[in-house]
Chains A and B, each alone.
Chain A
């Protein structure tokens, strides 16, 4: 059983569409991170959210941390083929222990 559940597991959309990825848990985290991983490479950190209810924007990506610090969402506006990859959320305990979600594999078709 995963500590962090991500949904959907797979997402295939056309360029220009919007999408939302969810990361849910019954546990409270000190912070939550989102990573993107491309084939043959390690995950790369996109953002860290710390405060309940926090919203952060990174160009077309919007990240939100739930009020209770148990869940998070990632919204992509006008997706582009370059957004293709595996998106991972990671809950952080005590600022030094990381639990990763199962991942959402996104494919954006031109």
Chain B
């Protein structure tokens, strides 16, 4: 299996622009997690889905952030409008029955 796939690997954008991060989980996994990692706050859980349904989005910082999972093989995290404080590495992870989480390589986002 190719593992969790994230795209793009790097994104540089200007403040106010819309950013869309993409994730393809491991085939057969039924839960998907979006995390954000910064030096100041470490690794924070933003939202997780179980069987494509959002279960807990209490970690989403504000309304500018939204996440979707239209099917079992694809999820997006969107930031609109983006701000410099959103700069971070965003990870997607998938798991079967919330056991071992397999993380993707991350998307490094820089908002100027």
Contact = CB atoms under 8 A, between A and B. Distances in A.
B25 interface: no
B105 A100 contact: no
A99 interface: yes
Contacts of B106: 40-42
Contacts of B104: 42
Interface string B7-48: 000000000000000000000000101010000001111001
A23 to B, nearest CB: 12
B91 A97 contact: no
Interface in A77-110: 88, 92, 95-103
A96 B54 CA distance: 13
Interface in B75-103: 91, 93, 98-103
B55 interface: yes
Contacts of A99: 45
Contacts of A11: none
27 contacts: A2-B42, A40-B105, A40-B106, A41-B103, A41-B106, A42-B4, A42-B91, A42-B103, A42-B105, A42-B106, A43-B43, A43-B103, A44-B103, A45-B102, A48-B100, A88-B42, A88-B43, A95-B98, A96-B31, A96-B50, A96-B55, A98-B45, A98-B101, A100-B35, A100-B42, A101-B42, A103-B42
Given A42-B91, A48-B100, A92-B98, 19 more contacts: A2-B42, A33-B101, A40-B105, A40-B106, A41-B105, A42-B93, A42-B104, A42-B106, A43-B103, A45-B101, A48-B99, A88-B43, A95-B98, A96-B50, A96-B55, A97-B48, A100-B35, A100-B43, A103-B43
Interface of A: 2, 33, 40-45, 48, 88, 92, 95-103
